[in-house]
Every structure is written in structure tokens, then in C-alpha cells.
């Protein structure tokens, strides 16, 4: 059984943490992921820094710019994941943009990701029809997951279609905003989560955008199989000198 499917079968209230590869320092990716796994995180989403990150808020955009200045590349990210896989078993999902995949060569990208131990991908700007026509067969043949996003603006009909093409889990964007928007979960969002649950989709769901602490994480877990935290975790590294301590302290504010 694939790592992602196995995780959702065995555990509830899944915590998925997003980190930016090559941030705060070029080779910190390896230690950050190891410490996340050591502190009870169930899955990690490794962001591939990109010069034009459309869906990312200022915190993640800034971390991407720092990582690019540090010298991060896709090849280095693959090397880092290969090193991580020597000691870490939790699922690893790569998040980035379709242009990065095309620049690397799509088939080569998917094959390399599989070879180093990646479990799946979140590519927010990959059109569903392009995925179906050009990449779905390759991704599925390699036993990899492709995770698509839905938002409050997505129609029920479209959600059902997206669910049919997704594998692993569905990324439920909690509000129509960029990442890093921070506030308590509102009643309108809860109504949206209930609408999704009433559709009886085939994939489990993780809620992302605006999840930042124990309160928002616990609320999200009442309406989905877990949640994703990104910007709040990246912010924890501002001024940090000790990765081990920073990761441990942050995770204790969530779990």
C-alpha cells in the first residue's frame, strides 16, 4: 500500500506541515523534515521555490526568495529528499508550479521524484484536462499521488470531477485567499466543509490555508481527516538559530 493511503487508513487528525526547500539555509531541508517526523508530524509538503508563486502569501513568497538566493534547485531538492529517505518514513509530497515540471521535463520529473522517495504532488496551476491527457497515465503507472485543490467557489459538479482525478487526498482550501490569512475558522467556512462532506467524495480531505495553531487545527479535524499548516510554520523560523528547538516548540502549539 502507498504511504499516503496507508496513513489515512491508520490515523485520524493528520497533521501535514509545509516547508520551503532550502529555507532558512540551503541544506536545512533535511534536518527540518527529520525533526518534524521526530515530533509527531504525519506528512510533509516540501515547497519547490519558484520566482512567481501565485497562490502563496507573503511569508511563503519570502521564504522562496531566500531559498532561491541560497541556491536551491530542483536537482538539489531531489538530492535532499534522497538523503531524508534514509531515516524518514512519513509521506513526502512536493508542492510547486507546473512551469517547474515542464522546465525539468514532465516524465523525467515524475520518474526522478519516484526514484528518490516522493509520494505525490500538489501543483495548483496544473489544469485538470492537461493532467488527464498528458500526465495521469505516467503518474499512476509510477504509483504516485496527484492532489488537486478545491475552494469555496468550486461548484459541487466540479468538486466531484476534481475528486475523481485526485488520489491520496483532496486539498480543501478553507477560504478564497492566498496562504497565510490568519483568523479563526468562520461559520461560513464550516458550512462549506459540511457541503463537501455531504458530497460523499472518494478521497479523504485535508484542510489548508489559515490553519495556524491548535484551535484552528482541531476545528479543521472536526470536518476533515486533518489539516495542513504552512505560513505559521515558516514564520517560526524568523530569527531562529536552532532547528531542533524551533520545530519542537512549534509542534507543541498544535498537537
Cell of 214: 491548535
How many angstroms separate the CA atoms of 88 and 36, rounded? 10
How many angstroms separate the CA atoms of 50 and 68, rounded? 8
Of 15-29, 121-135, 184-198, 220-234, where does mean pLDDT reach its minimum? 184-198
SS3 14: strand
Tell me the CA distances in angstroms from 20 to 128, 167, 187, 194, 244, one per residue in order: 25, 23, 31, 31, 16
Q: What is the mean pLDDT of residues 150-164?
A: 97
Known catalytic membership, residue 45: yes
Looking at residue 57, its pLDDT comes to 73
Tell me the CA distances in angstroms from 253 to 153, 245, 250, one per residue in order: 31, 13, 5
Look at residue 246 and tell me whether its pLDDT is greater than 50: yes
Known catalytic membership, residue 129: no
How many angstroms separate the CA atoms of 124 and 200, rounded? 23
Q: Which of 28, 45, 163, 225 is catalytic?
A: 45
- Residue 186 confidence class, pLDDT cut points 50, 70, 90: confident
Percentage of the chain modeled with pLDDT above 90: 86
Of 55-59, 74-78, 140-144, where does mean pLDDT reach its minimum? 55-59
Looking at residue 50, its pLDDT comes to 86
- Residue 177 confidence class, pLDDT cut points 50, 70, 90: low
Look at residue 192 and tell me whether its pLDDT is greater than 80: yes
Q: CA 17, 146, 35 angle in degrees (round to 5)? A: 20
Q: Which of 42, 56, 119, 225 is catalytic?
A: 56
Domains and CATH numbers, the chain: 13-249 (3.20.20.70)
Tell me the CA distances in angstroms from 215 to 16, 76, 133, 212, one per residue in order: 16, 36, 41, 8
For the chain, the 3-state helix, strand and coil shares in percent, each to the nearest 5, are: 45, 15, 40
Looking at residue 53, its pLDDT comes to 57
Q: What is the mean pLDDT of residues 206-226?
A: 95
Look at residue 146 and tell me whether its pLDDT is greater than 90: yes
Amino acid at each position: 500500500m502507498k504511504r499516503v493511503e496507508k496513513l489515512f487508513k491508520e490515523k485520524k487528525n493528520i497533521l501535514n506541515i509545509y516547508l520551503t526547500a532550502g529555507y532558512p539555509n540551503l541544506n536545512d531541508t533535511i534536518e527540518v523534515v527529520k525533526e518534524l517526523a521526530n515530533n509527531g508530524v504525519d506528512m510533509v509538503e516540501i515547497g519547490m521555490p519558484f520566482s512567481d508563486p501565485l497562490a502563496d502569501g507573503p511569508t511563503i513568497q519570502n521564504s522562496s526568495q531566500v531559498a532561491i538566493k541560497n541556491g536551491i534547485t530542483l536537482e538539489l531538492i531531489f538530492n535532499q529528499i534522497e538523503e531524508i529517505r534514509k531515516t524518514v518514513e512519513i509521506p513526502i509530497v512536493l508542492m510547486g508550479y507546473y512551469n517547474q515540471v515542464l522546465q525539468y521535463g514532465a516524465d523525467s520529473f515524475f520518474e526522478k521524484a519516484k526514484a528518490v522517495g516522493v509520494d505525490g504532488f500538489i501543483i495548483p496551476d496544473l489544469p485538470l484536462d492537461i493532467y488527464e491527457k498528458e500526465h495521469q497515465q505516467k503518474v499512476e503507472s509510477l504509483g504516485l499521488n496527484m492532489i488537486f485543490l478545491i475552494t469555496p467557489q468550486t461548484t459541487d459538479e466540479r468538486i466531484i470531477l476534481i475528486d475523481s482525478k485526485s488520489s491520496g487526498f483532496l486539498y480543501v482550501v478553507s477560504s478564497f485567499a492566498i496562504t497565510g490569512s490568519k483568523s479563526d475558522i468562520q461559520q461560513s467556512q464550516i458550512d462549506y466543509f459540511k457541503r463537501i462532506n455531504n458530497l460523499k467524495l472518494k478521497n479523504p480531505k485535508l484542510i489548508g490555508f489559515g490553519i495556524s495553531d491548535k484551535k484552528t487545527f482541531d476545528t479543521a479535524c472536526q470536518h476533515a481527516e486533518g489539516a495542513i499548516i504552512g505560513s505559521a510554520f515558516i514564520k517560526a523560523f524568523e530569527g531562529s538559530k536552532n532547528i531542533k528547538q524551533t520545530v519542537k516548540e512549534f509542534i507543541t502549539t498544535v498537537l
